[in-house]
Structure 1
Amino acid sequence: MADFTLNRRHLLAGAVAATAVPARAAAAAPDDAMGLAARIRSGDASARETVLAALERAEAAQAKLNFAVLIDRPRAISALPTDDRKPVIPTFIKDLNDYKGWPTRNGSRAFEKAPPATANERFVDAFAQMNTLPLGKTATPEFGLMCVTEPLSHGATRNPWNPDFSPGGSSGGSAAAVAAGVVPIAHANYGGGSIRIPAALTGLFGFKPSRGRMAGQKTADDPGEIAVDHVLTRSVRDAALTMAALQAPGADGLGAAVPRLAGPVGERLRIGVITVTADGSQPDQEVLAGIARTRTLLTGMGHNVSDASWPFNAADFGRDFLSFWAFSAAQSVGFVSKAMGADGVAQLEPLTRHLAAQGAALSPADFQALIGRLLAYRAAYDASFRDHDVLLTPVLSRHAVPIGYLSHSRPPADVVADMMRLVAYTPVQNMAGAAAMSVPIMQATNGLPLGMHFAGRRGDDARLLDLAFQLEAAAPWAQRLPPIWFGNRS
């Protein structure tokens, strides 16, 4: 425990033990967390002015982007350190996790009168002690079940690159806050792509750690534990150092802890490419063009790039993952029913109730058979890495998602079908417990960001982070800012 605490304390205080010094490092993002901490230590900024400025940005951004469900100015000011030279990084907590003193509303009208949480969840607690200062909580779809953030409880969260489009979900509020320069880092989580999807749509780096890697997760490799907590950032180094600091010790099957990478090691990789979706279709032309440009970039960097294919029937996997997702929805609705009765359930969104009905129809025998099939998919996924080291796919089948594309007014079955076609690539790694990331190296012709999705096996976190640092140096994105931007520009 002492070592874990030391890592947390040193992460944003700037005591970074780099395992490699890059020959050509990309410029850090404007006021990324590490850079902001350095400015406070040097006296170029103070802790107080840093937090007050972030609060001003948050309040201004809320009016344009609707990214937060709570901004707690009095609490943030009261939590300021007495030493104005102590690094303190403003951040936000996603509203699916408990943070002591604030209600957890789960993106749901059923929880609008929820009482304040009495304790922090473990990951949130560790993150909040990492020289960060939470300013409030960010918006999420109901129970994190959708890939856009447009809950009936709070309305649509908007993308700072174009407010007519979604920042994705379920960590859409956190993504909008970081992408717009409100804060340099924000909490993100969940179980089917909810870190990588909003990162891809908002031009951020989104890293999904391996199952069991992070504080607060079970260390045993339980296939039912598909969710993971981490952060959304503008720079690779902020995400890499957060993971190094907050990883849990001794997780089964993960091997050595992830080192404190501060730049690329430079491993040359065999990279397999898949673009076909579960129903046999291809993503939109912007996504395909981005994949093609990424292949050229990777080849020029010295990597070996070749075509690959899904190592299982992708359509069967999609149906089975949806069944597992529906089972999760049924558990959430069951909790609401027990705690709040029929009136609480009636407040839930149509999609939630639709999914829950499907999940509740699974018998215990059906569920056990489902888990067996998911384990078989995982085994096939792991075995496919005999032919490549890393997998490259799109993050989504569309390069952008308009607000209302998955409208609550539509029949829920149609929304689910469109969502599953959209989210065709990211659930595989949650099922396998594998490391994966969205890297913002591409742009669509309309200027919207276009993240590229890289994945490994469970335990390949350090390898993927090395590749991310390489990509950040080869195709820097730090100075690429959205039209709705509240941070510094240098």
Structure 2
Amino acid sequence: MMHESAVELSRRIRTGELTATELMTEAIRAADAVDPQINALIWRDDEASLRDAAAADAELAAGIGVGPFHGIPLPIKELTWVAGQPGTFGSRGVSDAPRPVSDLVVDRFRDAGFVLFGRSNSPEAGPMSVTENSRFGVTRNPWNVDRSPAGSSGGAAAAVAAGIVPVAHATDGGGSIRMPASATGLVGLKPSRGRVPARVPMWEHSIVEGVITRHIEDTAAILDAISAPDPTLPYAAPRPPRPFADEVGLDGPRLRIGLLLDAPSGVPVDPECRAAAEDLARALEHLGHTVEPVRPLLHSWEAVLGFVDVIINSWLWTTPYEDAELAEPYIRARRERARAHTGGDYALAAMRLYSENVDILAQWGRDFDVLLTPTMATTPPPVGVVLAEANAAFDGPRLTENQMIAFTAFANITGQPAISLPVRMSAAGLPVGAQLIGRPFGEGELIRLAASVQEHFGWTRRHPAVAGVAG
């Protein structure tokens, strides 16, 4: 059941073929069956979720207007607040007291009809490409429990891949939707900057809210549901020319696809990851698009260092710790590094990013329409390796993590939309994704491309051995 699209499941609820209570009961059963093996959900209140599902059924029976995802269970990532739930940022140093308010995206999910079901694991405070922390432990990949589902939305991705829920909330500050989607065989769209409202533009406007899904129609329809502009916020993405859901199956213009196979940072790229991008390139060429190798202008090393060492570390310093000494060693080191930087250092780092973004973004529409890359430069790493490297030497080489973020982080800095598609299975039986990066506010174009190859690659029919779905 949970391998069906959320769009279809909600339709079945509205027509009476299925109830929200039945669907939530199945989510609880699946979580009980498989989550002990993967540790995707680190907090649940099953009684509250069942009450909310029953309330959704009562609203439908009473003829009360319902949202497009009425009755669909949805976990919220541990880095996002929900009023009345704990929000510990995955840290032993942060209280588990109920939070007083919900982040804006949570209100959007509820308005769309979703029924909240637990909280998904994340690395502490977010800046890590795997989903491991000392408070809640390691989240494992349903395709191979010795491997990581990546991060920071690894709990969300593991829950969807294992069939606990059809979709899950996620966030992306440097690849945190796209990397887990790639590692677990799912679809992960990072929306444009300003597309989904948020009270505070974290990491200098680089973190965005979204979802991890199995079906591109879910990706599109959920983006419609959560992306309406909020006039109380400082800026918003322009309205799309048509609903994103209408892009699915639409025959758009033939595009110029730029193919980038070498990592901008120079780290080695696993042949399986190159092959995934080449697989997607061939499929798009078959559909009439032009694919040509490109060497795009991207950020300078000084700009990247400013983003990682000044901007992200400064935002980590704002995490509301009750006892920062209980944070992971690498988090303590990054917070201490932030104390050494001045306000001028931050302003200079931000200024360099925005200045370089102008020339980088100008390439879309001029030199190519969409950029195609591997999602990661490595297949999913063994659990424990990346976190241990970070804690042992925060400023060391950390090759594995650098390979994981090699193709994803720059789109957060520029604010562009980007999507990872699960186009390949490695020889070792692990999913491998390819990424499409669109022009500013070009989510519609990415959704059209993704929908055009979904059936060809058949990823909606691939499921891991660790799965909690009945039937």
* Alignment pair present for 1:298 and 2:284: yes
For 2:66, the equivalent position in structure 1 comes to: none
Distance 1:320 1:273, change over 3 A: farther
CA-based RMSD: 2.2
Give the Cα–Cα distance (whole angstroms) in 2 for the partners of residues 73 and 168 of structure 1.
27
| Cα separation, partners in 2 of 1:260 and 1:394, compared to 1, 3 Å | closer
For 1:195 and 1:202, locate their aligned partners in 2 and report how far apart those are by CA, in whole Å: 11
Q: 2:46 pairs with 73, 76, 83, which one? A: 73
Deviation digits for residues 153-196 of structure 1 (CA, Å, limit 9, x no counterpart): 11110000100001111111111001111000111003111111
Return 82-91 or 66-75, whichever deviates more.
82-91
1:264 counterpart letter in structure 2:
G
Aligned partner of 1:198 in structure 2 is 180
User: Is the Cα–Cα contact under 8 Å of residues 267 and 403 in structure 2 kept in the other structure?
Assistant: no
Task: Give, in angstroms, the shift of residue 252 of structure 1.
Answer: 4.7
AA of the residue aligned to 1:456:
G
Q: Is the alpha carbon distance of 1:240 and 1:217 closer, same or farther for their aligned partners in structure 2, counting shifts above 3 Å?
A: farther
Please tell me the residue identity of whatever aligns with 2:451.
F
For residue 312 of structure 2, the aligned residue among 328, 336, 340 is 328
**Cα distance change on mapping 1:131 and 1:486 into 2, 3 Å:** same
**How far 1:245 sits from its partner (Å)?**
1.6
Q: Tell me which of 115, 122, 128 is aligned to 2:110.
A: 128
How far off its partner does 1:417 sit? 5.5
| Alignment-derived partner of residue 12 in structure 1 | none
The change in CA–CA distance for 1:278 and 1:116 in structure 2 (over 3 A counts) is same
Specify the alignment match of 1:25 in structure 2. none
Q: CA deviation at 1:296?
A: 1.5
**Aligned with 2:220 (options 240, 253, 266):** 240
On the 8 A contact 1:93/1:134 being kept in 2, the answer is: yes
Aligned-partner Cα distance in 2 for 1:407–1:482: 25
Instruction: Summarize deviations over 1:192-230 as a string: whole Å, max 9, x none.
Output: 1111110010011101111111133579xx992111111
Specify the SS of the correspondent of 2:243: coil
Deviation of 1:72 (Å): 0.9
1:46 alignment counterpart: 19
- Letter of the 2:9 counterpart: L
Task: Pick closer, same or farther for the CA change 1:399–1:171 going to 2, 3 Å.
Answer: same
User: Contact between 1:264 and 1:467, CA under 8 Å: does it hold in 2?
Assistant: no
Specify whether residues 85 and 472 from structure 1 end up closer, same or farther in structure 2 by C-alpha distance, changes over 3 A only.
farther
C-alpha deviation, 1:486, in angstroms: 1.2
Q: Which runs of 5+ in 1 are unaligned?
A: 1-27
Compared CA separation, residues 217 and 395, structure 1 to 2 (3 A): farther
Report the secondary structure of 1:141's partner residue.
coil
The letter for the 2-side match of 1:323 is D
Change (3 A) 1:223 1:187: closer
Q: Of residues 348, 362, 370 in structure 1, which corresponds to 2:349?
A: 370
Structure 2: which 5+ runs fail to align?
Answer: 61-69
> CA-to-partner distance for each residue in 1:419-444, whole Å, 9 max, x for gaps?
23431111111111111110112221
> What are the Cα deviations for residues 243-264 of structure 1, in whole angstroms up to 9, with x where unaligned?
1121132755635355142422
**DSSP-derived class of the 1:407 partner:** helix
Question: Alpha carbons of 1:486 and 1:432: their partners in 2 closer, same or farther (altered >3 Å)?
Answer: same
Task: Determine if the alignment matches structure 1 residue 436 to structure 2 residue 418.
Answer: yes
Q: Which amino acid aligns with 1:391?
A: L
Structure 1 residue 152: deviation in Å? 1.1
Superposed displacement of residue 105, structure 1: 0.8
The answer (yes or no) to whether the contact 2:195–2:236 under 8 Å persists in 1 is: no
Q: Which amino acid aligns with 2:175?
A: G
Aligned to 2:293: 307
Q: What is the identity, as a one-letter code, of the residue corresponding to 1:140?
A: S
Shift of 1:289: 1.6
- The answer to whether the aligner puts 1:345 opposite 2:311 as a matched pair is no
Moved more, 468-477 or 141-150: 468-477
User: Where does 1:52-67 land on structure 2 (aligned, <5 Å)?
Assistant: 52-67=25-40
- More displaced stretch, 300-309 vs 443-452: 443-452
2:97 paired residue number: 115
Identity of aligned residues (%): 31
Aligned match for 2:245, one of 245, 261, 270: 261
**Contact kept? 1:226, 1:431, Cα under 8 Å:** yes
2-structure distance, mates of 1:449, 1:53: 26
Contact 2:195–2:237 under 8 Å retained in 1: no
**What is the CA–CA distance in structure 2 between the aligned matches of 1:32 and 1:488, rounded to whole Å?**
15
Question: Residues 228 and 372 of structure 1: is their aligned pair in 2 closer, same or farther, counting only changes over 3 Å?
Answer: same
Structure 1 equivalent of residue 367 of structure 2: 387
For 1:182, give the aligned amino acid. Answer: I
Q: Match of 1:108, as an amino acid?
A: S
**Correspondences of 1:444-455 after superposition (within 5 Å):** 444-455=426-437
The reply on whether 1:272 has 2:258 as its aligned counterpart is yes
* Alpha-carbon separation, structure 2, partners of 1:88 and 1:312: 43
What SS does the corresponding residue of 2:33 show, helix, strand or coil? helix
Once residues 241 and 190 of structure 2 are traced to their aligned partners in structure 1, the CA distance between those partners, rounded to angstroms, is 15
Deviations 1:440-483 (A, max 9, x none): 12221222111111001221111111111112133221111111
Counterpart residue number, 2:455: 473
Alpha-carbon distance change, 85 to 45 in structure 1, aligned in 2, over 3 angstroms: farther
- Whether contact under 8 Å (1:175, 1:232) holds in the other structure is yes
Matches within 5 A, 1:46-195: 46-82=19-55, 83=57, 86=60, 87-111=70-94, 113-195=95-177
With normalisation by structure 2, the TM-score equals: 0.90
Cα distance 1:62–1:378, how it changes in 2: closer, same or farther (>3 A)? same
Q: Which residue of 1 aligns with 2:67?
A: none
Cα distance in 1 between the residues matched to 2:347 and 2:82: 34
Higher mean Cα deviation, 379-388 or 407-416?
407-416
